[in-house]
Each structure stands twice: as structure tokens, then as C-alpha cells.
A and B are shown apart, each in its own frame.
Chain A
Amino acid sequence: GAGVSQSPSNKVTEKGKDVELRCDPISGHTALYWYRQSLGQGLEFLIYFQGNSAPDKSGLPSDRFSAERTGGSVSTLTIQRTQQEDSAVYLCASSLMASGTHNTYEQYFGPGTRLTVT
């Protein structure tokens, strides 16, 4: 079946512009996660959605970042007034649930969106 897809695969934007990154999770997965990986750096957790519950936004790096998940499926990560330090690969993952055993909790990662802010 189809895995997690993300679009665009690459995005180059000018400093100060807004960008939207999209994630299509695996059908039926109730949990969706956003991460970012800056060049040469480790993974950083941003936010996750479980079903229709309100997400904990405390992992978002600044108030320029927001995320929503419509209809419990597709998610959009929006970065307003982009800065050069926002340049990174933004990764999305989904899992059947956000808890339980590895079978339900295993995260499937998308290919990422490489964002470059010039």
C-alpha cells in the first residue's frame, strides 16, 4: 500500500515568505508526527496529532510555526516569515496509534521536504 507522502519534496523560499508543507499519512493511521532535521544535526520533534485530540504545541520552535490536521488525515505545517535557520528537512511520520505495542505504535516516515530559505 501507499506509504507516507510529503509535498513538495524540495522548497526554496526567500526569507520572510510563508511556506506550507503537506503530509499525507498512511490511510487509517490515527497518529501523525512532524519532525525536522537541520543539516548535520539530529532529529528534532515538532508536534504530533492523535486522532481528533488537540495537539501539544510546546515542541514548535517559535510562534511562526503552526500545524493543523484536517479530518484526521492530511496535515499541513505552516512556517510564517521564514528565517534562514528554518532551513532543514521536515519529516512527517504516521502510526496506527500513538501508544500500545510496536505493531500499533511503529512510525512510518515520509521522504521529507527539504526547505531552503535564502
Chain B
Amino acid sequence: KNEVEQSPQNLTAQEGEFITINCSYSVGISALHWLQQHPGGGIVSLFMLSSGKKKHGRLIATINIQEKHSSLHITASHPRDSAVYICAAHTGNQFYFGTGTSLTVIP
């Protein structure tokens, strides 16, 4: 069993749609990270959460510590949002990664 599970694995959306990517984890965490990996391979850190909700532009990340669940939302999706979104649980001296959600936004 993976320590971090993401869903969906693949997602195709029309431009403008509201998108939700889910992440469930089974370990105790000090922080939960959301990363974005572009088709060229570069990785960017989007959010680090230990509680509550954070917003950056059209991106919103929430976490429910009791339920061990986090969501990444993209409002008014755009083709440039097409990327792989990765959830990572930081616990102690370890990081556990989800397998990623591949998002394609069609114009």
C-alpha cells in the first residue's frame, strides 16, 4: 500500500473548468506539499500545507488533518495549467510521493 494516493491519475478538462485533484495519505505528516511538473520535466513547488487552506492566484490547496486528505483546486483552468501535479507527504526525515495526476486542459 502506498503511503500517498492521488486521484484521478489522468484528467482532461475544457478551458475554464474548475478542477479538483485529491490526495490521501496514511502517515503522520509535518507538512503536505503540492508540486507541479511541466512536460519538459521541470518541477515547481506550489504549496506547503500543515493545516487549513492556502490560495495563490487561481490555485487553492486545502488539507484536512483528521481525515488525512488534501485537495488541489484550479479555478478557471487554462491550457498552460497542463502538467503533472504531485502530492508529497513530509514526515520526519522522509518524503512520500503520490504517483501524480496528469492534467490536460483543452482550449
Give A residues with C-beta under 8 Å from B. Answer: 33, 35, 41-45, 48, 55-56, 58-59, 89, 91, 93, 99, 101-102, 105-109, 111-112
Alpha-carbon distance A93/B47, docked complex (angstroms): 15
Give B residues with C-beta under 8 Å from A. Answer: 30-31, 33, 35, 41-45, 47-48, 54, 86, 88, 92-100
Are A107 and B45 within 8 A (Cβ)?
yes
Alpha-carbon distance A112/B96, docked complex (angstroms): 19
| B48 contact set on A, CB distance < 8 A | 101-102, 105-106
Alpha-carbon distance A111/B48, docked complex (angstroms): 21
Alpha-carbon distance A58/B86, docked complex (angstroms): 22
Are A99 and B43 within 8 A (Cβ)?
no
Q: List 8 A-B contacts (CB under 8 A).
A: A42-B97, A43-B86, A43-B88, A45-B96, A93-B43, A105-B31, A107-B33, A111-B41
7 pairs of A and B residues whose beta carbons are closest in the complex: A56-B93, A45-B95, A109-B43, A43-B97, A102-B48, A42-B99, A106-B45
**Which A-chain residue is minimally distant from B33 (CB atoms)?**
A107
How far apart are A111's CB and chain B's nearest CB, in angstroms? 7
Are A102 and B98 within 8 A (Cβ)?
no
| B54 contact set on A, CB distance < 8 A | 102
How far apart are B71's CB and chain A's nearest CB, in angstroms? 17
Alpha-carbon distance A105/B97, docked complex (angstroms): 17
Alpha-carbon distance A106/B96, docked complex (angstroms): 16
When A102-B47, A106-B48 are in contact, do A45 and B41 touch as well, CB less than 8 Å? no
How far apart are A59's CB and chain B's nearest CB, in angstroms? 6
When A99-B30, A105-B31 are in contact, do A45 and B44 touch as well, CB less than 8 Å? no
